[in-house]
């Protein structure tokens, strides 16, 4: 673990995040605040959103600090469950010092992987990158030079089931909590996706919903677009239609050819994916139906 990562964990020792989704009604914020005050907690950040105050959904993220958090975490959960039951909440308590065990899937193009590894080395990616899985050996030396296990598993549509069985076995072995598709150019089966709901983040090299599927830059060039972009989203069984976490765009013109668009697009992809992953790691993303609420 890098020094920056250790320092961040130390700063987060007594910090937790409470994530809440429920039907909107009066008294939720007051109940949560009074509970934390009564437990001796200090709220350092609080965000909330209502889709409709009359009959909508309410979402809340509260970050707080409290002494002896690790010893008290289970007691806090049990005590808060009474309030959660009263308001019929879907909720969870996340310890900021517990780094999410993460797997990165990549194919030939390494630019998104490189961005994530750079932030990881700098201590700016609050994750435990436990392994990298690839259907190409291109990034093997780079990954292993950082002490991260690299697994080369050739993949194509004809052996997809066999490949995913190996992948799922590795994910279970490493107790993986988040999967990042850093330009992994294989379609995942419904069986794979169902085992990790809202825990697979993809980067699509297009500003969705435009140009879903393969070769978006070529199709964007043929269409003569003036803006290109990238979209990071959770993976569902509907190709490139999962809940969107983050997007970015860059202006282009008729002077740019398809290769120019790809070059510009790679830069957008790197930053968009890194932001989306960081927000997930920091428990800033709540999913409702096929949308996200992002408290950034």
Q: Which residues are catalytic?
A: 240
CA dihedral 18, 24, 25, 30 (to 10 degrees): 20
3-state secondary structure of 44: strand
**Interatomic CA distance for residues 277 and 70, integer angstroms:** 25
Map tokens 């992953």 to a residue: 277
C-beta pairs of 93-96 under 8 Å, 24+ apart in sequence: 93/16, 93/17, 93/18, 93/19, 94/16, 94/17, 94/18, 94/19, 94/283, 95/12, 95/15, 95/16, 95/69, 95/70, 96/12, 96/15, 96/16, 96/17, 96/63
Decide if 154 contacts 133 (C-beta within 8 A): no
Please report how many Cα atoms fall inside a 13 Å half-sphere around the Cα of residue 286, on the Cβ side.
Answer: 23
In DSSP terms, 50 is beta-bridged to 58
Helix (H) or strand (E) holding 50: strand 42-50
In DSSP terms, 286 is beta-bridged to 293
């Amino acid at each position: 673990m890098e020094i920056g990562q250790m320092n961040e964990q130390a700063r987060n020792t007594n910090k937790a995040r409470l994530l809440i989704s429920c039907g909107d009604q009066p008294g939720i914020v007051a109940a949560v605040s009074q509970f934390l005050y009564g437990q001796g907690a200090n709220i350092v950040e609080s965000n909330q959103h209502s889709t409709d105050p009359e009959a909508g959904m309410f979402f809340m993220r509260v970050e707080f600090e409290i002494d002896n958090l690790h010893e008290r975490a289970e007691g806090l959960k049990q005590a808060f469950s009474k309030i959660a039951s009263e308001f019929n909440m879907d909720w969870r308590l996340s310890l900021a010092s517990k780094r999410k065990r993460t797997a990165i899937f990549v194919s030939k193009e390494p630019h998104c992987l490189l961005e994530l590894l750079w932030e990881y080395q700098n201590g700016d990616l609050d994750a435990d990158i436990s392994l990298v899985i690839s259907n190409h050996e291109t990034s093997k030396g780079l990954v292993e030079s950082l002490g991260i296990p690299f697994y080369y598993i050739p993949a194509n549509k004809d052996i997809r089931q066999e490949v995913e069985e190996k992948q799922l076995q590795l994910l279970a072995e490493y107790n993986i909590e988040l999967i990042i598709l850093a330009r992994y150019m294989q379609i995942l089966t419904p069986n794979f996706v169902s085992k990790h709901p809202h825990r697979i983040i993809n980067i699509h090299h297009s500003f969705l919903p435009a140009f879903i599927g393969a070769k978006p830059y070529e199709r964007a060039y043929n269409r003569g677009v003036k803006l290109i972009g990238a979209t990071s989203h959770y993976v569902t069984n509907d190709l490139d239609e999962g809940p969107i976490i983050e997007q970015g765009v860059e202006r282009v013109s008729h002077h740019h050819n398809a290769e120019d668009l790809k070059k510009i697009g790679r830069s957008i992809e790197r930053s968009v994916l890194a932001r989306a992953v960081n927000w997930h790691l920091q428990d800033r993303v709540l999913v409702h139906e096929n949308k996200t609420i992002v408290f950034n």
